[in-house]
Amino acid sequence: MSLQKVLTQTNMKCVPDGLHHIEVIYEYVQEAFPQECDNEVVCDTGWADSPEWQHKVRNALQTLKGKGRIHKTGLERGYWRVQVNLDGKALLDACCGARSIWFDKEHAAALYMDIREEEPGTIKLQPGWSVEPDIIGDYRDMVFEDESFWHIMWDIPHIMEAKGGIMLQKYGKLGHGWKDDVARGFNECWRVLKPFGTLVFKWCDLSISTNEMMAQFPVIPLHGTRTKKSVNEHGTYWILFFKLPREMEMYQEIWKMVFNCMALLADGCEDSLEEAIDTMRSAMLNLQQKALV
């Protein structure tokens, strides 16, 4: 893949957040992609000769300008701000595609992300269809800070393998490394979700069963489509997760331990009771320490 494409598709991930002069950006790119940055290959079009790879870096910055992570407005000549500017966006669509599930496709509070862009006209039979995210990004490795959004919509591709066809064009595919991809994706969604925030996972069990998919996620959902009876064959499952603050999850765990101790006491299981009380004591200490920091 060309340097320019790598940089645009990864949202300049190799450059840390901050206000940087272009020369500093070159240094980060050179460090990340030494093979692609050959100073001997010079571009002599334009007003001054410069290494071809630097030209590609500037092109990538221009392409990404204003699309979520790269900003230029109001900055001194030669400077670029490399930072996700959420601009009050509280909602994230992590796989926006054509935004067809949205009632308001330009919701003012939403940031629309997808791993690709597709221009209108890509699908001849549906000339109006396009993928035009605000930010190109990968749900497995997001550029956002922890606890950035109140609500996340996560509608991943559901086809495992397909050689072609309109479904593949519109929705993409999962591929054989899907278990690792979705586990990483879930952890990333959870990381960028605020405590008390909601994550909606939308799923179609055409290639992979819903149980197998859900087994990859470390959190139990709150509610949603629970049984196959409530959807048609290969219908759509909507599943909602609610993120409790860690301390509240720990309280819940301790309550479960209290009830367990009470049950053991009632059953006269003294040996197991001692062990259960020890476990509860260390969980309480853990919680107390968390409260002190």
Ligand X SMILES: C[S@@+](CC[C@H](N)C(=O)[O-])C[C@H]1O[C@@H](n2cnc3c(N)ncnc32)[C@H](O)[C@@H]1O
Measured from the CB of residue 49, what is the shortest distance to ligand X in angstroms? 38
- N- to C-terminal Cα separation, the chain: 46
Question: Could you give the CA distance from residue 143 to residue 15 in angstroms, rounded to a whole number?
Answer: 11
Which of 26, 203 has the CB closer to ligand X?
203
Measured from the CB of residue 148, what is the shortest distance to ligand X in angstroms? 16
Contacts of ligand X in 35-74 (CB under 6 A): none
- Which span sits near ligand X by CB under 6 A: 75-83, 154-162, 231-239, 256-264? 154-162
Which of 43, 167 has the CB closer to ligand X?
167
When asked if residue 287 is in the footprint of ligand X (CB under 6 A), the reply is no
Measured from the CB of residue 154, what is the shortest distance to ligand X in angstroms? 9
| Sign of the dihedral defined by the CA atoms of residues 18, 24, 30, 36, in that order | positive
Backbone angles phi, psi at 6, to 5 degrees: -60, -45
User: Count residues contacting ligand X (CB under 6 A)?
Assistant: 20
Longest dimension (CA), the chain: 88
Helix, strand or coil for residue 31?
helix
Which of 99, 243 has the CB closer to ligand X?
99
- Which span sits near ligand X by CB under 6 A: 26-34, 78-86, 133-141, 279-287? 133-141
Q: Which neighbouring-strand residues pair with 81?
A: 19, 71
When asked if residue 237 is in the footprint of ligand X (CB under 6 A), the reply is no
Measured from the CB of residue 228, what is the shortest distance to ligand X in angstroms? 20
DSSP-derived secondary structure letter, 76: P
> Residue 261: CB partners within 8 Å, gap ≥ 6?
273, 276, 277, 280
Q: Of these, 101, 183, 231, 254, which contacts ligand X (CB under 6 A)?
A: 101
- Which span sits near ligand X by CB under 6 A: 25-33, 112-120, 243-251, 282-290? 112-120
C-alpha Rg value of the chain to the nearest Å? 24
- Which span sits near ligand X by CB under 6 A: 29-37, 70-78, 137-145, 187-195? 137-145
Helix, strand or coil for residue 178?
helix
Helix, strand or coil for residue 87?
coil
- CA 29 to centroid of chain Cα atoms: 23
| 174 and 207 Cβ atoms separated by less than 8 Å | yes
Q: Of these, 57, 92, 95, 280, which contacts ligand X (CB under 6 A)?
A: 95
When asked if residue 98 is in the footprint of ligand X (CB under 6 A), the reply is yes
Q: Which residues bind ligand X (CB under 6 A)?
A: 94-101, 114-116, 131, 138-140, 155-157, 171-172
